[in-house]
Chain A
Amino acid sequence: MLTPTVPLSPQPWRAAYAAAGIVGDLPPPNHASLAALVHSSCVTYAQQIAYTCVVPNGMNGSLTYAQVDAHSDAFAAYLRQTLKLPPGARVAVQLPNSLGYPVVAFGILKAGCVLVNTNPLYTPSEMLHQFKDAGVEALVLIDMFADKLPAVMRDTGLKHVIVASVTEFFPAVPNAVVRGVQRFWSRVLPPIAVPHVRLAAALAQGREALGAASVKAYWGDLKASDTAALQYTGGTTGVAKGAVLSHGNLVANVQQMLAMGATHMTPGKECVLTALPLYHIFAFTANLLGFLSIGARNILIPSPRPVQNLQRAVENYPVTWITGVNTLFNALLNEEWFLAYPPKHLKASIAGGTALHGAVAERWAAVTGTPIAEGYGLTETSPVVSFNPLGGGARLGSIGIPAPGTEVRLVSDDGADVKAGEAGEIWVRGPQVMQGYWNNPGASADILRDGWLATGDVAVMDEAGFMRIVDRKKDLILVSGFNVYPNEIEDVIARMDAVLEVAVIGIPDGQSGEAVRAYVVPNPEHAAAPTAAQIAEHCRKYLTGYKLPKSVVLRDELPKTPIGKVLRKDLKAEVRAEFAARK
């Protein structure tokens, strides 16, 4: 029925839904707000364990669904009654993966306030920008970084500080041991120079203020259009902007993610490894909310680096799902303990955030014997846009088909839809698309056009509706007028055994305008680091002349975002500095 020479028919991917056992029509929203979603799951699975936090030596703490419900009720009451924050007030959370995170995040949502997820590693100036821009009134911060507070408090409207620890809700002995090591050995607990409240004290005050009343009074009237979270993004283009995600956006995206994964999920029986940070939209929606809504147990890892930190968690818990990024999967595949004993209960893994290299995907499937599905999303789309179907038909190197309820167009520079097999910018429409950027109508109008979100990513779609990312529009390298897509070169170099990781960018070149440069991290398991000549020889087998790297730089590591996305922009900045210095 589909002929490749005509424009793509509307939603050519629907046939793939049926083939993989996916329900193609998104049901109406099952909850009016995230607060309702959280509460309903906590009632259904009350006695099951919801979150377990595991530190590198295997010490751990857990909360049941009922405890998460009760503690987050108390935190909601603390915000509304004790601090007297109004509905819609912005509350920032700056916590690593730990048991305090779900309690605080759900408390904020139940209070009808707005959650502002913030990277705990931010510098004071990054915190200042974000808190000022969002108008943050209260902050929940990990105690390890409390030394940044004085500078931040002086210059923002921030009025209340709640401090939490990594071992929040741990049993007494492990708590004392880990705190003792943090305080006396690694000395990572700075004195706190501003007025603050400990999380445990805040919960006690909230519990008392609430009494026998129900926090449903705060969230019962929330509508799908009400703002749930400001999720800051755009570090790659300069100043961070806050994507306004509504309760409806996130509830819908949870449903979309579950629709794609349902064939491999049994409610109440799953155990998901959460090594990616929860303040990032991928783990926030998929792990914190998605797996919560099906009654799964979340294994929270405060710090996944070095990747050895995951060993005790993988050994001690029957992990059935892993969400990750290319670098995480690649790192696990280079660990001896993981290769010898891959998690035997594993059902499936999903990769997002950045392109999953073909070599990693193939090895992962071979080592674990389970499917790994690459997906695609953006902060601005809550984040899931597309996924490879797990139930069959997944295509290597593809970002899959749009999630149910999502419309996708590929658009050329002149605004027309491209034909099958041609490259075009991905435009997305669906219930997960953000409301706009916070206090930034200019940037919102740039990216939201007639209800469509222009992603800035270039892809091609085949007749069956499967998409393949060609690259970020702005990462294109122009060699003598030819378009070179860094992803393609990276994928080829990553196939060398001697290579652990690789990033490709363009550098200025007198002859060709731009030339390809590869930054390569040698594989330490391999006897010798690859030479530039070996890399060039390998590339010549797969790539035409203008795509070959003209320069190769060996590195011990690559600059990365907190979730492990390689930061090409940092490498580009180095190159700019390098070439400026030569002039």
Chain B
Amino acid sequence: MLTELETKLLGVMMMVIMLGMGASLTYRDFLIALRKPKGVLVGLVCQYGIMPFMGYALAMALGLPPGLAVGLILIACMPGGTTSNIFTYFSKAVLALSIMMTSVSTLVALVAVPALLEFYSGAAGITGDFRIPAGNVAQVLVVLLVPTVIGMVLRKLNPNVGASIELLGGMLGIAVIVFLIISWVPRNYQLLTVTPWYVYFAAVGLGLFGMALGYSLAKLLKQDNNRSRTIALETGIQNGPLAVLIVTLTFTGAMQQEVLLIPVLYSLFIVLTSSAVTVWFRRLSSREAKARDSAKVGALNPT
């Protein structure tokens, strides 16, 4: 479990991350996104349709005990993570779409996350102490909206401050995970060795299946390859630190330890899997650009 100090630190870091996300946004961005709502809608369906259902389905299929199941369902219901923007950038996909999907899903989270959590927890038969009260989740999200709005205002007032915070927030997203690895992994080494395979499968699989399904749905709805890859990354990468924060604010002691396991494992492994996927996407992207080039010139040059 996390210490009191670590929980507080995590809370502060989350604030800075959300400040940074706010600084990457303008009011106009939302209005522009609404002009072409299809991309954002696809994103929302992936984020709050596919992912929570998959979390629930995995928990059922693997027959997870209530403590682990609630952790898996929680992480599956989270909005998109700010780190997805960094991975999108490096995979040469559509950065603007990624930022927009992250922000819209974070806004919608206020209503969607408590409702979905309630629904799937009930469906999974989780009762009593393991239920995360919907009010708690909503409160955390409301509190996090404050720094987001402050970030947007700062960017408007001073572009230099805005851009600096934006960068800082993005880097902290990675730093939080490194912080978890350094502080949590050594202390729980023993636990990791006895954790059964299906827990790892759930933690790693959620991200990978999310990407695969997000990509398929995007293709089905006629998004081009680059946009589909963006949606895939965005769907698979959840806001892990937010889930960890919610767990630590809701549970204590051994219960906290149990519920925390899958969100923490997910956060650790998603960095590895998305890095690998990013390298692969980047290669696909470059290869497609080249192929487009030669195909066109060859096919259309009648002389």
**Is B292 touching A340 in the complex (CB atoms < 8 A)?**
no
User: Taking CB as reference atom, which chain B residue is nearest A178?
Assistant: B163
With an 8 A cutoff between CB atoms, is B61 at the interface? no
A174 touches B164 (CB 8 A): yes
- The answer to whether the Cβ of A543 comes within 8 Å of any Cβ in the partner chain is no
With A554-B296, A556-B292: A57-B303 Cβ-Cβ less than 8 Å: no
Indicate whether B302 reaches chain A with its CB closer than 8 angstroms: yes
Contact A336 B300 (CB under 8 A): no
Query: How far apart are A500's CB and chain B's nearest CB, in angstroms?
Result: 13
Inter-chain contacts of B162 with A (CB < 8 A) = 58
One of B24-32, B207-215, B249-257 at the interface: B24-32
Inter-subunit contact A554/B300 (CB<8 Å): yes
Question: How far apart are A468's CB and chain B's nearest CB, in angstroms?
Answer: 31
Q: Are B28 and A341 in contact (CB under 8 A)?
A: yes
| A-facing residues in B3-33 (Cβ within 8 Å) | 26, 28, 31-32
For A313, the closest partner residue in chain B by CB is B159
B300 touches A58 (CB 8 A): no
Chief secondary structure at chain A's binding surface: mixed
A550 CB, nearest partner CB in chain B, Å: 7
Q: A553 contacts B301, CB within 8 Å? A: yes
In contact, A532 and B32 (Cβ under 8 angstroms): no
Would you call B159 and A551 a contact (CB within 8 A)? no
Size range of the chain B interface in the assembly: 20 to 34
In A527-583, the 8 Å CB interface with B consists of: 529, 531-532, 550-556
**Which of A171, A177, A341, A507 has a CB less than 8 Å from the CB of B167?**
A177
Say whether A337 contacts B28, CB under 8 Å: yes
Q: Name the one of B28, B166, B297, B300 contacting A315, with C-beta atoms under 8 angstroms.
A: B28
Q: B289 at interface (Cβ–Cβ under 8 A)? A: yes
Interface 0/1 of B29-45, CB less than 8 Å to A: 00110011000000000
> In the assembled complex, which residues on chain A have CB atoms less than 8 Å from the CB atom of B300?
531-532, 552-554
* Residue A316 lies at the interface, judged by CB distance under 8 Å to chain B: yes
Q: How far is the CA of A60 from the CA of B159 in the complex (A)?
A: 7
Instruction: State how many angstroms separate the Cβ of A512 from the closest Cβ of chain B.
Output: 13
A224 within 8 A of B: no
Chain B neighbourhood of A532, CB < 8 A: 300, 302
Q: A315-B28, A336-B32, A340-B28 are in contact. Are A554 and B297 (CB under 8 A)?
A: yes
Query: How many whole Å from A126's CB to the nearest CB in chain B?
Result: 27
Chain A residues, Cβ within 8 Å of B302: 532, 551-552
- Name the distance in Å between A99's Cβ and chain B's nearest Cβ: 14
Contact with A along B263-301 (1 / 0, CB 8 A): 000000000000000000000000001001100110011
Say yes or no: B163 contacts A57, CB within 8 Å: yes
- Which residues of the partner chain B approach A312 to less than 8 Å between Cβ atoms? 159
Bound CA span A517–B35, Å: 38
Return the chain B residue nearest A55 by Cβ. B163
* Chain A CB within 8 A of B160 CB: yes
Residues 146-179 of A contacting B (Cβ, < 8 Å): 171, 173-174, 177
| Residue from B26, B35, B155, B163 within 8 A of A174 (CB atoms) | B163
For the complex of A and B, list the 7 residue pairs with the smallest distance between their C-beta atoms, beginning with the closest.
Answer: A554-B296, A58-B159, A551-B303, A57-B163, A59-B163, A58-B163, A340-B32
